[in-house]
Chain A
Amino acid sequence: MKRVKEALSNLIVPMISISFGFLAGAIIMLLSGNNPVTGYVALLQGVFGEIYYFGETLRMMTPLIFSGIAVAFAFRTGLLNIGVEGQLIVGWLASVAVGSMFDLPMILHLPLALLVGAVAGAVWGFIPGILKARLHVHEVIVTIMMNYVALHVSNYIIRTYMLASGQRSDYVSETASLSSEFLRGMTDFSRLHWGFFLAIAACFVMWFFLWKTTKGYELRSAGYNQHASSYAGMNVKTNIVMSMMISGAFAGLGGAMEGLGTYNYVQILQGFTNLGFDGIAVALLGGSTSIGIFLAAFLFGGLKIGSSNMQATAGVAPELVEIVIALIIFFVASSYFIRWYLNRRQSKKEGK
């Protein structure tokens, strides 16, 4: 009974935040002369109305789940990884490089491309990790800087070594692609690919690793109290580096999802993909739990895909969705206030 109550109270904050976010979105639509009911109905139709839209939503979820896990994983160990964006970009680049430059049977090629993507992300996460562990440099600024280094360096590598036509590289060979005729056919030719199931598996892996293994316990305990973990004989420094690398590996896989699944190539980026930054929103709303991340990725992925239909049929600018997402993050981050209010009501009820 107590556990059910706890689970409910964990649900209440995100639920209230989401409602406030949508309410604010409705007010903005009203103020800008749009009809919020028409707008939100169009948004829903843009997710569930056609199997194609639904397939695209699942496709959009895939990298969001990975970037959400990446942020959450670091967060569980007391680290804020703002560098998921950069780790995702290098993972994208590395996986496509392997996917397009080698000729191997699929059973080797695809795992190798995925692995190299994950390793690239892990390397990108290693740098802020080691700086934090050895020199106590705050990881937030370093990871932000690493994002820009990733963006410029990967653009340089694509431009110099990989350019095939226009702004993009060659397509990855079929033996390294996650694309699936079967899933495409089932969803009226959306870009849904096998990566979606890898994302679900990743949710499971994160849960299992953090909650069912000794190492996972160590990493979480470092998140709660570094000094206590250190006193208990755990090597906090190694754990920090390891956590950033695992986080980076998940982010790199998120990039590989785009490189091997959605696009099958890598392109010169004009700016950030924002998939990594959205991961922060996903992890935060999902309470850094596997199931929460899955649901939050569905919500944000759906919002992003549904927004184009909202523009097409209701004439609401798709950026409304970005506003709603930003406000949801604000509300979740400010949950101190919601919790405080709930606690006060609770204690009043109990007559204290």
Chain B
Amino acid sequence: MDAFISSLNLIIPAAIFAATPLIFTALGGLLSERAGVVNIGLEGLMVMGAFSGIVFTLIFESFGLGAASPWLALVVAMLIGAVFSLFHAVASITLRADQIVSGVALNFLAVGLSVFLVREFFGKGQTDYIQFPIYRTNIPLLADIPVIGGWFFSRIYATSIIALVFVVIVWYVVFKTPFGLRLRSVGEHPTAADTMGIKVNRMKYIAVMLSGAFGGMGGAVYAITTSGNFGGGTIAGQGFMALAALVFGKWNPFGVLGAALFFGLAQSLSITAQQIPALANVPQVYLLIAPYVLTILALAGFVGKAEGPKALGKAYEKGSR
């Protein structure tokens, strides 16, 4: 039993840690897709977030801001993510480009632009390492709870707590506020929303920019807590995994949380499984592909049917039926 608990001590914090960037990014995807705009560009938004997170941490460090640097950089990364998402918004909402194609282009652009800038600034393919990453902390009082305190509240990143808070906030906003109702109506039935006086395209712009902010946050959190620097390979598929979490979580914030934690678990197990007797013989590949296979099964309806907003992927044309 002790061995079991101590392996959980290892696995649970690792899963939460791996899930955190996915939660932020998938919440962003949720806001955008709830408003009817597919966001394949989450990966690119994470790339821009990771890039700005690292670059601005380095800049703030050079100003002598010390441990506050990564936190300020997170805010900047959110802003840059929101601005960068405008490419997707303008192309797919105003110019009625195919949302998927536009998202693909956004991913290309993010990698190209960020690595180009890194080469111009640093003269090499990746940035320097940051001096003040965000460290793990124990949460006072809660960390002292036996067993559970060890799993959830000790040696945890503050960013993980913030992610959990945002899950609740996004859930409240989307399902309990007039703004959320408008957002969802635009994604389900834009014509009806328009008739009721909701500015459809404005709502979509807001949603896409919010997804940019969250995606930027997700990328920056990953870069600041995990990689410590930025290069072309820093973000390699986390954005698409966030998209998977969004679908597997059935476009619901708590579903997304569960999916992200589960994917985080699979990810962390793929690294730590060697140390756990029961799992040491499972080929790593099964854990690596688990999130993707499960998402396909969920879409196919084998693990509870996942159905997106009705008007997802369609540009809204006033007066069309």
Interface residues, chain A, CB within 8 Å of chain B? 28, 32-33, 80, 82, 127, 131, 135, 137-138, 140-142, 144-149, 152-153, 155-156, 160, 270-271, 277, 280-281, 284, 317, 319-323, 325-327, 329-330, 333-337
Name B205-246 residues within 8 Å CB distance of A.
Answer: 232-233, 236-237, 240-241, 243-244
Q: Which of B97, B113, B232, B285 contacts A330 (CB 8 A)?
A: B97
**CA–CA, A137 to B303, complex, Å?**
13
Knowing A144-B240, A322-B111, A337-B95 are in contact, say whether A330-B105 is a contact too (CB < 8 A). yes
Tell me whether A140 and B40 are in contact (CB under 8 A).
yes
With a CB–CB cut-off of 8 A, which chain B residues contact A147? 240
Q: Which of A140, A270, A333 contacts B102 (CB 8 A)?
A: A333
With a CB–CB cut-off of 8 A, which chain A residues contact B283? 156, 160
**CA–CA, A134 to B15, complex, Å?**
35
Interface size in chain B (residues, C-beta < 8 A): 48
Q: Pull 25 A–B residue pairs with CB atoms less than 8 Å apart, ordered by A.
A: A138-B308, A140-B40, A141-B299, A144-B243, A145-B292, A148-B237, A148-B292, A153-B289, A156-B284, A156-B285, A271-B233, A277-B108, A319-B111, A319-B112, A319-B113, A322-B108, A322-B111, A322-B116, A326-B112, A327-B105, A329-B104, A330-B102, A333-B102, A334-B96, A336-B96
Task: Flag B89-110 by CB within 8 Å of A: 1 or 0 each.
Answer: 0110001111011101111110
With a CB–CB cut-off of 8 A, which chain B residues contact A281? 104-105, 108
Closest to B244 in A: A145
Q: Which 7 A/B pairs are nearest by Cβ-Cβ distance?
A: A322-B112, A326-B108, A326-B109, A333-B97, A334-B95, A317-B119, A156-B285
Q: Is B87's CB within 8 Å of the partner chain A?
A: yes
Tell me whether B299 and A82 are in contact (CB under 8 A).
no
B297 CB to nearest A CB, Å: 10
Q: Which of A142, A155, A323 contacts B112 (CB 8 A)?
A: A323
Q: Is B2's CB within 8 Å of the partner chain A?
A: no
Q: Which of A152, A270, A323 contacts B285 (CB 8 A)?
A: A152
Knowing A138-B299, A156-B284 are in contact, say whether A80-B100 is a contact too (CB < 8 A). yes
Q: Which of B108, B237, B295 contacts A329 (CB 8 A)?
A: B108
Q: Is B115's CB within 8 Å of the partner chain A?
A: yes
A179 CB to nearest B CB, Å: 29
Tell me whether A317 and B100 are in contact (CB under 8 A).
no
**CA–CA, A82 to B300, complex, Å?**
18
Tell me whether B112 and A329 are in contact (CB under 8 A).
no
Knowing A137-B299, A145-B295 are in contact, say whether A326-B97 is a contact too (CB < 8 A). no
A106 CB to nearest B CB, Å: 34
B188 CB to nearest A CB, Å: 16
Tell me whether A141 and B247 are in contact (CB under 8 A).
yes
With a CB–CB cut-off of 8 A, which chain B residues contact A321? 112
**CA–CA, A281 to B1, complex, Å?**
55
With a CB–CB cut-off of 8 A, which chain A residues contact B102? 330, 333-334
Closest to A328 in B: B105
Q: Is B288's CB within 8 Å of the partner chain A?
A: yes
**CA–CA, A141 to B102, complex, Å?**
15
Closest to B97 in A: A333
Interface residues, chain B, CB within 8 Å of chain A? 38, 40, 87, 90-91, 95-98, 100-102, 104-109, 111-113, 115-117, 119-120, 232-233, 236-237, 240-241, 243-244, 247, 283-285, 288-289, 292-293, 295-296, 299-301, 308
A123 CB to nearest B CB, Å: 15
Tell me whether B113 and A323 are in contact (CB under 8 A).
yes
Q: Which of A33, A152, A156, A333 contacts B98 (CB 8 A)?
A: A333
With a CB–CB cut-off of 8 A, which chain A residues contact B96? 334, 336
Q: A142-B296, A152-B288 are in contact. List 9 more A-B contacts (CB 8 A).
A: A82-B40, A82-B104, A271-B233, A277-B108, A317-B119, A320-B112, A329-B108, A334-B90, A335-B97
**CA–CA, A137 to B308, complex, Å?**
11
A89 CB to nearest B CB, Å: 13
A238 CB to nearest B CB, Å: 19
**CA–CA, A140 to B107, complex, Å?**
15
**CA–CA, A337 to B91, complex, Å?**
10
B202 CB to nearest A CB, Å: 19
Tell me whether B91 and A334 are in contact (CB under 8 A).
yes
With a CB–CB cut-off of 8 A, which chain A residues contact B87? 330
Knowing A323-B112, A333-B97 are in contact, say whether A146-B296 is a contact too (CB < 8 A). yes
With a CB–CB cut-off of 8 A, which chain B residues contact A333? 91, 95, 97-98, 101-102, 105
Closest to B246 in A: A141
**CA–CA, A319 to B288, complex, Å?**
29
Q: Which of A32, A155, A270, A329 contacts B120 (CB 8 A)?
A: A32
Tell me whether A326 and B247 are in contact (CB under 8 A).
no
With a CB–CB cut-off of 8 A, which chain A residues contact B233? 270-271
Knowing A32-B120, A135-B300, A137-B299 are in contact, say whether A277-B104 is a contact too (CB < 8 A). yes
With a CB–CB cut-off of 8 A, which chain A residues contact B299? 131, 137-138, 141-142
**CA–CA, A335 to B95, complex, Å?**
8
A125 CB to nearest B CB, Å: 14
With a CB–CB cut-off of 8 A, which chain B residues contact A32? 116-117, 120
**CA–CA, A45 to B235, complex, Å?**
33
Tell me whether A334 and B97 are in contact (CB under 8 A).
yes
Closest to A319 in B: B116
**CA–CA, A326 to B308, complex, Å?**
28
Closest to A142 in B: B296
With a CB–CB cut-off of 8 A, which chain A residues contact B289? 148-149, 152-153
A37 CB to nearest B CB, Å: 18
With a CB–CB cut-off of 8 A, which chain A residues contact B90? 334
Counting chain A CB atoms within 10 Å of each CB, the highest count among B90, B106, B237 belongs to B237
**CA–CA, A148 to B238, complex, Å?**
11
A135 CB to nearest B CB, Å: 5
With a CB–CB cut-off of 8 A, which chain B residues contact A277? 104, 107-108
